[in-house]
A and B are shown apart, each in its own frame.
Chain A
Amino acid sequence: MPDVASAMAHQGESRRAMRTASTLADPAILSRAALDAIRKLDPRMLARNPVIFVTEVVSLLVSVLAVRAALLGEPWGFQAGIAVWLWLTVLFATFAEAVAEGRGRAQADSLRQTRTTTQAKLLVRPDDRTLWLPRAATELQVGDVVLVEAGDLIPSDGEVIEGIASVNEAAVTGESAPVIRESGGDRSAVTGGTLVVSGSIVVRVTAAPGSTFLDRMIALVEGAVRQKTPNEVALDILLAGMTIIFLIAVATLVGLASWNGQPPSVPVLAALLITLIPTTIGGLLSAIGIAGMDRLVRFNVLATSGRAVEAAGDVSVLLLDKTGTITQGSRQAAAFVPAPGVPEHEVAEAAVLASLADETPEGRSILAFARERYGIAAPELPAEAKVMPFTAQTRISGLDMGGASYRKGAVDSLARALGAELPPALAQAVDRIARQGATPLLVAKDGRLLGAIELKDIVKPGIRERFAALRRMGIRTVMVTGDNRLTAAAIATEAGVDDFLAEATPEDKLAYIRKAQAEGQLVAMCGDGTNDAPALAQADVGLAMQTGTQAAREAGNMVDLDSDPTKLIEVVEIGKQLLITRGALTTFSIANDVAKYFAILPAIFVAQYPELQALNVMRLTSPESAILSAVIFNALIIVALVPLALRGVRFTPIGAAALLRRNLLLYGVGGVIAPFVGIKAIDLLLNLLGIY
């Protein structure tokens, strides 16, 4: 089956390419979006969006009036102009949504190709590998047991109950390096659509047809199952409410204007209504949401719902596992501590020689540390040297060369092997190292103890600054570790976390989350083991690792395909970015209304009260051009803001007060000013083109 394997690898590549390359200007996406935009004009679909729905109804009304005027031989150009731009307003809104969806759909298509159509090998009896029946993968039920051999695609999500295999999960993660999947433990989950490269496994199916991980992923990126998030629902209500308020204001104008003259014509009132109701944010709201989900997908994180992304922005407590997130996750040499009367340099040299043949990460870190700190370059391994490799029994490694013997090893093992007492000063140093959560090793030359090596789990570079940035955004970081309190405290101080949970059991984590939530905090955490599942489910944002168990992946509301726990921090930032974008465009949209009033009101009433021309502060050419300019601006601003809606407003962790000041100035004050400039410019252009 080498063909399948190469096809898989190819798809993995194309998925990665998709993530990085798909941009706004992709012509394929745009042309497809244009078609979708027209399809979305269906009022049944638009009814979900009250503002744009009203716009469509009004567009239809004005169109009918324009046609009627034309048929009656009345002047119809102005009405037709308004009708066209009202329709464009609707179209731009549906186009924005279609573009946002289009980016996800391209990804979904590539995923769909991956979805398996192969025959599964359904075992008749789970314990007998020899007897199986061919069965279409799509017909597999939960609890079925299938055999998957080298070269086979895994037919559905499941759990390995027997065997071990290396699996290429490129279809899901985009990462083509194979991973090990085996029965028992935390690496037993397999995903439908991934490829067994070598080995064979027996898998119990855990997903019902149509609800596999891949199915859900396709649905997610396509936005097919997109439900409005709580905040979107609330925002929709606000927008609908404002629409009703302006409907009242415009409808009652008929009566008010009748008191001393003729009421304005319906197309003019329609223009006033549509420019006043919040069409900008109404048209972009769903695109912003889809783009937010899409940003996560590009970042190789899948959220089960938009609600989870929103919650990510709200998170106020981050539970981070120490190992692998805060620290490198491997012990590295951090200091050489000499015994009394021994020069430090001698300890370093002996440690280098004793580690020369040590291929473990710890051994290599000793060489690197000696080179950096003491300038000791590791010599070539001499041919006559006799290597003593590290074994779990001896816990000692070393080298005999040039008549000298160099040893390093665990404290008690080496001391016992040499039959030597630790000098009191060295014993104290060893104790101190152990208390701080580091690991002490002893170094000896020719049976004499020279000193100790301190092996330490190193805090990742830059992590302290990131925690400080999070703190500026009001997010507390909590380190979770199995270490004892003293050790945990030392690392917590070094990493700059706000709190830590030492000797943490899964129950402790769960209790901590519950307590924080009772205080009104929103908690995010990541996890991969089965015993993490309750905490993942309890957390407001539970980021499960793709390499984790099925239970963990089911419990979390996000899955990280790269299985990198550090990404929790970026997930929070993406959540915040989504909310900021939504808020910025809402504020902008509402602030726009001021200018539109000044454009349209004098235009409407100038026939009745010529003196109201004084309110025409933009000095627009004529009433018709003023009204049309406002309508055109109102439509074009949607298109102009599509890139911002899809890309998102930049997020910088400068604290809420500073962020608010900046964004309020940009989108609030800017929102008041921009339409004055825009409407005036359009009016000038209409004038220049000789239309008015």
Chain B
Amino acid sequence: MTLIGWAQIALVLACVIAAAMPLGRFIAQVSAGERTFLHPVLGPLERMIYAAAGVDPNRGQGWKAYTLSMLAFSAVGFASLYAILRLQGVLPFNPQGFSGMAPYLAFNTAVSFVTNTNWQAYSGESAASYLSQMAGLTVHNFVSAATGIALALALSRAFAAGGLKNLGNFWADLVRMTLYVLLPLALIVGLAFVAMGMPQTLGAYVEAQTLEGGTQVIARGPVAFQVAIKHLGTNGGGFFGVNALHPFEGPSALATALQTWSHIVIPFALCLTFGAIVGNRRQGWVLFAVMMGFLVAATAIVYAAEAAGNPLHLAGGVDPALGNMEGKDVRFGHALVALFTAATTGASCGAVNAMFDSFTPLGGMVPLFLMQLGEVLPGGVGSGLYGILVFALLAVFIAGLMVGRTPEFLGKKIQAREIKLAMLAVLVLPATILGFTAVSVVLPMAVTSIQDAGPHGLSEVLYAYSSGAGNNGSAFGGLTADTPWFDTTIGLAMLLGRFAYVVPMMAIAGSLAAKVKVPESAGTFPTHTPLFAGLLAGVILIVGGLQFLPSLALGPLAEHFAMLAGKTF
């Protein structure tokens, strides 16, 4: 680790904090339907969309109506995306003449983008037409992200006042978040990427003469703007198979820094939006601080592990100053790779600028564990906020009694119904991740997909399901994922990770919204203090993380200690 490396990390995070403050306030304004500086330009467009869709943005929806709208929207999105992927061979904007995707792969890919996961069992430049990329995948990069924000807003509103009957209007939230937040940001960031050298063209791939006299097909396409929303919306699905490691998708260190900024700025800003909506800014900052603390700690571990390198390589004569550079690009260096890695998996983005399969065991364990913790640090756009709020409810419930009152969070009593729903939501990740992994490592048809023997092989499968269920989408590598078994089960993991979590979460929102808001007093459990931040962190680790410890012990930890002992598999 170097000072300059840490300075880079600090600079990116400082930019995140600086931008999150105004952005958080801005999102709160937009979500409340207030006029902003963008309304003169986008207001007419917004009204046009409502008129065309027959939506009254002021008509509030209860949790059931809100959730059903979201589910219906996602179902239609899934069906249309599936159709585009299957039929891309006969549809326009297909200069490379790709044929339609196979059914399993199309199912997996459609689920992947609708759930904001962007797990890519396909390789973008060799399987998806421009139409699929733009009208299919990129559209979902916007709307699945906006859906996540909408859900987080709905849950936030449940804490705002007592006796609420509705949580806002899903369609209005969807349109507003897309129009006022995601589109303008994507436009700015996309232009910046173009300036940094990313292609943005509808032209066909280029055939080039190499120095050796051979020919090479250079893939390109409408990259820059898709990459912008891929990060801003914590989608992560790259235009190219190797994602941000591709020189056209991650052209420079500056570009990789901007991508890192992009995939965590909205999740952090949403904490402050929450503070604004519930009228307790310090509460927003407490959530912010917990997320930031984990992110910095995770970055530090990856940075330290990778910079230290693999003792087996060092024994083989590798320069110790290099650290573990396998699977990394010298353009980025260890510091920016470590930050990108922690941010992309902490934030359910899933873009990668290095290959995790080549990381040291501990360096690879960090992204794995961050996903298993439930993608709340800082989590996906929206999903991070509602995820950490579910943990906050549990933290208050477990420790809240210790002040001598039945637990309440922001004045809302937490009772049997909320706990039942919260536990249902929390169960989704261990059941999905551990269940599918346990089956996959013994099922003969699945085992053939696993590249490596020993604990590393286990990590590869564990990672795939953690990524799917956490709606992250990054891949560890080493796993042949485009098989009927993995396409289907990872698809199911993504569906469960999104919807089996969101539906109970929304039911909690509905239940909390209707409750009276108990006024704060000296007897109230304080949730806006550093002490609560510590408690929340402990609960995330103990309730969210401990159950994965055995799997980590058999995977990366076993590999790590074996590596130290000079053992290979």
A→B interface (CB under 8 Å):
230-231, 233-235, 237-238, 240-242, 244-246, 248-260, 272, 276, 310, 313-314, 316, 471-476, 518-521, 575-577, 579-580, 582-584, 586-587, 590-591, 593-594, 597, 601-602, 604-605, 608-609, 611-615, 651, 655-657, 659-661, 663-664, 667-668
Do A586 and B401 touch across chains, with their CB atoms under 8 A apart?
yes
The answer to whether B546 has its CB under 8 Å from any CB of chain A is yes
Give the CA-CA distance A518 to B414 in the complex, in Å: 18
| Other A-B pairs beyond A231-B401, A248-B547, 7, CB < 8 Å | A238-B397, A241-B427, A245-B430, A255-B438, A473-B522, A474-B524, A609-B561
Do B558 and A612 touch across chains, with their CB atoms under 8 A apart?
yes
Do A249 and B434 touch across chains, with their CB atoms under 8 A apart?
yes
Q: Choose one: B418, B435, B523, B526; the contact of A252 (CB below 8 Å).
A: B435
The A interface, classified by DSSP as helix, strand, loop or mixed, is helix
Separation in Å of the A670 CB from the closest CB of chain B? Answer: 12
One of B140-148, B242-250, B511-519 at the interface: B511-519
Q: Which residues of A contact B524 (CB under 8 A)?
A: 474, 656
Separation in Å of the A262 CB from the closest CB of chain B? Answer: 12
Central interface residue in A251, A472, A657, by most chain B CB within 10 Å: A657
Q: Choose one: B162, B419, B569; the contact of A520 (CB below 8 Å).
A: B162
Do A520 and B404 touch across chains, with their CB atoms under 8 A apart?
no
Do A601 and B553 touch across chains, with their CB atoms under 8 A apart?
yes
Give the CA-CA distance A575 to B547 in the complex, in Å: 34
Do B402 and A659 touch across chains, with their CB atoms under 8 A apart?
yes
CB<8 Å pairs between A and B, sample of 9 = A241-B426, A256-B434, A471-B522, A473-B404, A576-B404, A651-B404, A655-B522, A657-B531, A660-B525
Q: Mark B195-229, 1 if CB is under 8 A from A, else 0.
A: 00000000000000000000000000000000000
Given A256-B458, A657-B526, are A234 and B399 also a contact pair (CB < 8 Å)? no
One of B31-39, B108-116, B285-293, B535-543 at the interface: B535-543
Give the CA-CA distance A597 to B548 in the complex, in Å: 11
Do A594 and B521 touch across chains, with their CB atoms under 8 A apart?
no
The answer to whether B382 has its CB under 8 Å from any CB of chain A is no
Do B543 and A242 touch across chains, with their CB atoms under 8 A apart?
yes
Do A256 and B438 touch across chains, with their CB atoms under 8 A apart?
yes
Q: Which residues of A contact B275 (CB under 8 A)?
A: none
Q: Which residues, 353 to 408 on B, are CB-close (under 8 Å) to A?
A: 394, 397-407
Give the CA-CA distance A230 to B542 in the complex, in Å: 25
Give the CA-CA distance A518 to B394 in the complex, in Å: 26
Given A234-B419, A587-B399, A609-B455, are A258 and B406 also a contact pair (CB < 8 Å)? no
Count of interface residues, chain B, beta-carbon cutoff 8 Å: 71
Give the CA-CA distance A554 to B28 in the complex, in Å: 50
Separation in Å of the A527 CB from the closest CB of chain B? Answer: 24
Q: Which residues of B contact A576 (CB under 8 A)?
A: 404-405
Give the CA-CA distance A615 to B564 in the complex, in Å: 13
Do A241 and B423 touch across chains, with their CB atoms under 8 A apart?
yes
The answer to whether B549 has its CB under 8 Å from any CB of chain A is yes
Do A668 and B535 touch across chains, with their CB atoms under 8 A apart?
yes
Central interface residue in A593, A613, A668, by most chain B CB within 10 Å: A668
Q: Choose one: B403, B406, B419, B542; the contact of A656 (CB below 8 Å).
A: B403
Given A609-B561, A656-B524, are A580 and B431 also a contact pair (CB < 8 Å)? no
Separation in Å of the B501 CB from the closest CB of chain A? Answer: 14
Do B437 and A252 touch across chains, with their CB atoms under 8 A apart?
yes
Q: Choose one: A235, A248, A611, A668; the contact of B565 (CB below 8 Å).
A: A611
Central interface residue in A237, A259, A579, A583, by most chain B CB within 10 Å: A259
Do B416 and A611 touch across chains, with their CB atoms under 8 A apart?
no
Do B516 and A609 touch across chains, with their CB atoms under 8 A apart?
no
Do B554 and A257 touch across chains, with their CB atoms under 8 A apart?
yes
Q: Mark B450-465, 1 if CB is under 8 A from A, else 0.
A: 0001110110001000
Q: Look across to chain B and name the residue whose beta carbon is closest to the beta carbon of A672.
A: B538
Give the CA-CA distance A406 to B261 in the complex, in Å: 93
Q: Which residues of B contact A230 (CB under 8 A)?
A: 406, 415-416
Q: Look across to chain A and name the residue whose beta carbon is closest to the beta carbon of B397.
A: A238
Q: Choose one: B529, B546, B549, B564; the contact of A657 (CB below 8 Å).
A: B529
Give the CA-CA distance A23 to B547 in the complex, in Å: 40
Do A591 and B401 touch across chains, with their CB atoms under 8 A apart?
no
Q: Which residues, 10 to 57 on B, are CB-close (under 8 Å) to A?
A: none
Do A659 and B526 touch across chains, with their CB atoms under 8 A apart?
no
Separation in Å of the A291 CB from the closest CB of chain B? Answer: 15
Q: Which residues of B contact A655 (CB under 8 A)?
A: 522-523
The B interface, classified by DSSP as helix, strand, loop or mixed, is helix
Separation in Å of the B386 CB from the closest CB of chain A? Answer: 18
Do A660 and B526 touch across chains, with their CB atoms under 8 A apart?
yes
Q: Look across to chain A and name the residue whose beta carbon is closest to the beta carbon of B562.
A: A611
The answer to whether B468 has its CB under 8 Å from any CB of chain A is no
Q: Which residues of B contact A233 (CB under 8 A)?
A: 416
Do B402 and A584 touch across chains, with their CB atoms under 8 A apart?
yes
Q: Which residues of B contact A660 (CB under 8 A)?
A: 399, 402-403, 525-526, 531
Q: Which residues of A contact B316 (CB under 8 A)?
A: none
The answer to whether B266 has its CB under 8 Å from any CB of chain A is no
The answer to whether B411 has its CB under 8 Å from any CB of chain A is yes
Give the CA-CA distance A234 to B414 in the complex, in Å: 8
Q: Look across to chain A and name the residue whose beta carbon is closest to the beta carbon of B432.
A: A248
Q: Mark B416-451, 1 if CB is under 8 A from A, else 0.
A: 101110011011001100110111011000000000
Q: Choose one: A240, A575, A651, A664; the contact of B399 (CB below 8 Å).
A: A664
Do A664 and B442 touch across chains, with their CB atoms under 8 A apart?
no
Q: Mark B243-274, 1 if CB is under 8 A from A, else 0.
A: 00000000000000000000000000000000
Do B561 and A614 touch across chains, with their CB atoms under 8 A apart?
yes
Give the CA-CA distance A664 to B455 in the complex, in Å: 37
The answer to whether B317 has its CB under 8 Å from any CB of chain A is no
The answer to whether B557 has its CB under 8 Å from any CB of chain A is yes
Q: Choose one: B438, B439, B523, B543; the contact of A475 (CB below 8 Å).
A: B523
Q: Choose one: A316, A518, A611; the contact of B523 (CB below 8 Å).
A: A316
Central interface residue in B434, B565, B569, by most chain A CB within 10 Å: B434
Give the CA-CA distance A253 to B552 in the complex, in Å: 11
Do A594 and B542 touch across chains, with their CB atoms under 8 A apart?
yes
Do A583 and B401 touch across chains, with their CB atoms under 8 A apart?
yes
The answer to whether B567 has its CB under 8 Å from any CB of chain A is yes
Give the CA-CA distance A521 to B519 in the complex, in Å: 7
Q: Which residues of A contact B419 (CB under 8 A)?
A: 234-235, 237-238, 241
Q: Which residues of B contact A240 (CB under 8 A)?
A: 423
Separation in Å of the A318 CB from the closest CB of chain B? Answer: 12
Do A659 and B403 touch across chains, with their CB atoms under 8 A apart?
yes
Q: Choose one: A249, A518, A590, A604; the contact of B547 (CB below 8 Å).
A: A249
Q: Look across to chain B and name the residue whose beta carbon is closest to the beta carbon of A587.
A: B399
Q: Which residues of B contact A657 (CB under 8 A)?
A: 526, 529, 531
Central interface residue in A248, A257, A575, by most chain B CB within 10 Å: A248
Q: Choose one: B397, B402, B564; the contact of A611 (CB below 8 Å).
A: B564
Q: Choose one: A249, A316, A587; the contact of B402 (CB below 8 Å).
A: A587
Do B525 and A255 touch across chains, with their CB atoms under 8 A apart?
no
Do B521 and A668 touch across chains, with their CB atoms under 8 A apart?
no
Do A252 and B401 touch across chains, with their CB atoms under 8 A apart?
no
Do B561 and A611 touch across chains, with their CB atoms under 8 A apart?
yes
Q: Choose one: A237, A256, A580, A614; the contact of B554 (CB below 8 Å).
A: A256
Central interface residue in B402, B548, B565, by most chain A CB within 10 Å: B402
Q: Which residues of A contact B516 (CB under 8 A)?
A: 518-520
Give the CA-CA distance A625 to B416 in the complex, in Å: 39
Do A237 and B439 touch across chains, with their CB atoms under 8 A apart?
no
The answer to whether B551 has its CB under 8 Å from any CB of chain A is yes
Q: Which residues of A contact B441 (CB under 8 A)?
A: 255-256, 258-259
Shortest Cβ-Cβ A-B pairs, 3 listed: A474-B523, A583-B401, A255-B438
Give the CA-CA distance A245 to B521 in the complex, in Å: 35
Do B404 and A615 touch across chains, with their CB atoms under 8 A apart?
no
Q: Which residues of A contact B426 (CB under 8 A)?
A: 241, 245
Q: Which residues of A contact B405 (CB under 8 A)?
A: 313-314, 576, 579, 656
Give the CA-CA distance A500 to B420 in the complex, in Å: 41
Separation in Å of the B18 CB from the closest CB of chain A? Answer: 31
Central interface residue in B403, B529, B535, B564, by most chain A CB within 10 Å: B403
Separation in Å of the B250 CB from the closest CB of chain A? Answer: 34
Q: Look across to chain B and name the residue whose beta carbon is closest to the beta carbon of A249.
A: B547
